[in-house]
């Protein structure tokens, strides 16, 4: 569910008309609903009720500080995967003891940053990383709390590029070697084991892979405790999918996901951490664009938008589907026609949809991409020297710009010419 609805024939973000925002900030732009962010967090809270838990919002899905601060105010911890994300979380007021640091390539500098600034735990991904972390922590006179990410070799049955729990993926250590690696961790002076971490992929639309992976984690927890390790936390990752295509069947609900957690690991007495990102922020955002031209080609019509692949790369990168709707609601029974919906970037890959049925669209009409709050603005770039687009947040009948559109001078003046030029 989201809070983007037609009112009197005009698409609104909560109680703000989308054309009002467009008139203020220009197009294209992203807009986020605080009510939707809140609702999605609350659904996870309900799903884990009765269990000791912490919901760590996966910042990689949308790391705007206004979004982070809103999630933190709801009680969320943060899952970060870089030093930059760590500093964003701290700048938004998140305490270090509610930040978990994931990612396969943590540098010594990032480790020092988190140890000095405070950290809940490092989710360690490899033995070399564990050795490096121990060295860094000792040099600072500290002991780093860690979980070790295990790779359970479970196929998440999701897109090839966002599957992370198979043995051929780069993430974690093979679960078959976990006892050996935990024994090594126990011998290192600069780290202290606090739990186990697992994450098998993103945009999962079936609960079975979670059940398989968490069952393996439960078995491993019992084995490690027999070996003398104190396992008090289970970081179960994120990955629950959202309904990008409204006409398809909906993915499992967080309540059903919570039931899987209870069945598989609920009897172990561990604090449960989860790291939802997409399910919290995805349907909380729209990308709004304007139609520059309607081009009549041979056998097809093109909608040429002022948004492009540099603004929303998911369709070009993953072949991803986003529902696309007119901001002005079509009349009931209005005839639909197929369009190829494209941007102005000089690549054929700059295509959002092919032969998508829409009511008649004219030049300057506004259209909106649903489910654009996750992996949209965070993955945008200035390709073709196109400035990054604004991000806007809505609360009730108010809206605020939370990332301004830079000017061309702002963008160009970041470059410097060498002396010889």
Q: Where are the domains of the chain?
A: 4-31+282-412, 34-279
pLDDT at position 161 is 43
Residue 349 parent element (H or E): none
Span 5-30, average pLDDT: 98
What percent of the chain shows pLDDT beyond 90? 85
4-31+282-412 belongs to which CATH class?
A: mainly beta
Summarize pLDDT for 316-334 with one digit per residue, the tens: 998 999 999 999 999 888 9
Task: Using the predicted structure, report yes or no on whether residue 22 has a pLDDT greater than 80.
Answer: yes
Q: Residue 201 carries which DSSP code?
A: B
Q: Which of 10-24, 67-81, 148-162 has the weakest average pLDDT?
A: 148-162
Which residues touch 207 (CB under 8 Å, ≥6 apart)?
252, 256, 257, 260
Q: Which residues does residue 173 pair with via DSSP β-bridges, in sequence order?
A: 150
Is 34-279 in the same CATH topology as 4-31+282-412? no
Beta strands in 23-124 (DSSP E): 29-33, 53-58, 77-80, 99-101, 121-124
Tell me the average pLDDT of the chain: 93
Contacts 24+ apart (CB under 8 A), 173-177: 173/125, 173/126, 173/127, 173/148, 173/149, 174/150, 175/150, 175/151, 175/216, 175/220
Task: Using the predicted structure, report yes or no on whether residue 172 has a pLDDT greater than 90.
Answer: no
Summarize pLDDT for 37-78 with one digit per residue, the tens: 999 999 999 999 999 999 999 999 999 999 999 999 999 999
Phi (first) and psi of residue 292, to 5 degrees: -80, -50
Q: How confident is the model at residue 11 (pLDDT cuts 50, 70, 90)?
A: very high
From 3.60.70.12, 3.30.70.3270, 3.20.20.10, 3.40.50.720, which CATH number describes the 34-279 domain? 3.20.20.10
Q: Which of 68-77, 111-120, 192-201 has the weakest average pLDDT?
A: 192-201
Summarize pLDDT for 361-411 with one digit per residue, the tens: 999 999 999 999 999 999 999 999 999 999 999 999 999 999 999 999 999
pLDDT at position 398 is 98
Question: Is 346 a catalytic site residue?
Answer: yes
Span 98-110, average pLDDT: 96
Measured between its terminal Cα atoms, the distance across the chain in Å is 55
Residue with the bigger pLDDT between 350 and 251: it is 350
pTM of the model: 0.93
Spot the catalytic one: 346, 416, 417, 420: 346
């Amino acid at each position: 569910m989201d809070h983007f609805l037609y009112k009197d024939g005009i698409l609104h973000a909560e109680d703000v008309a989308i054309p009002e925002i467009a008139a203020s900030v220009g197009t294209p732009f992203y807009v986020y609903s605080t009510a939707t962010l809140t609702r999605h967090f609350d659904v996870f809270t309900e799903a884990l009720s009765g269990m000791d838990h912490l919901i760590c919002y996966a910042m990689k899905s949308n790391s705007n500080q206004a979004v982070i601060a809103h999630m933190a105010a709801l009680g969320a911890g943060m899952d970060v995967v870089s030093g930059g994300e760590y500093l964003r979380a701290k700048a938004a007021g998140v305490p270090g003891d509610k930040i978990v640091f994931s990612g396969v390539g943590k540098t010594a500098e990032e480790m020092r940053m988190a140890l000095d600034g405070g950290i809940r735990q490092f989710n360690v991904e490899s033995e070399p990383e564990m050795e490096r972390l121990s060295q860094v922590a000792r040099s600072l006179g500290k002991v780093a709390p860690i979980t070790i990410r295990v790779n359970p070799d479970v196929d998440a049955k999701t897109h090839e590029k966002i599957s992370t729990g198979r043995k051929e993926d780069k993430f974690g250590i093979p679960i078959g070697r976990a006892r050996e690696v935990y024994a090594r961790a126990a011998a290192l002076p600069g780290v202290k084991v606090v739990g186990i971490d697992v994450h098998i992929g993103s945009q999962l639309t079936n609960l079975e892979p979670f059940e398989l992976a968490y069952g393996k984690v439960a078995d491993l927890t019992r084995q490690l405790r027999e070996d003398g390790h104190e396992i008090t936390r289970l970081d179960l990752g994120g990955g629950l999918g959202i309904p990008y295509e409204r006409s398809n069947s909906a993915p499992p609900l967080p309540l059903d996901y919570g039931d899987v957690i209870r069945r598989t690991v609920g009897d172990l007495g561990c604090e449960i951490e989860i790291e939802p990102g997409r399910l919290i922020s995805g349907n909380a955002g729209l990308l709004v664009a304007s139609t520059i031209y309607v081009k009549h080609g041979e056998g097809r019509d093109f909608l040429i938008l002022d948004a492009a692949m540099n603004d929303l790369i998911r369709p070009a990168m993953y072949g991803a589907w986003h529902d696309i709707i007119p901001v002005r609601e079509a009349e009931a029974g209005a005839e639909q026609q197929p369009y190829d919906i494209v941007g102005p970037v000089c690549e054929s890959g700059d295509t959002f949809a092919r032969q998508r049925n829409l009511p008649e669209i004219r030049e300057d009409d506004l259209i909106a991409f649903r489910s654009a709050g996750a992996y949209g603005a965070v993955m945008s770039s200035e390709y073709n020297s196109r400035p990054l687009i604004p991000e806007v947040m809505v609360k009730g009948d108010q809206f605020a710009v939370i990332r301004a559109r830079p000017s061309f001078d702002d963008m160009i003046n970041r470059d410097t010419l060498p002396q010889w030029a």
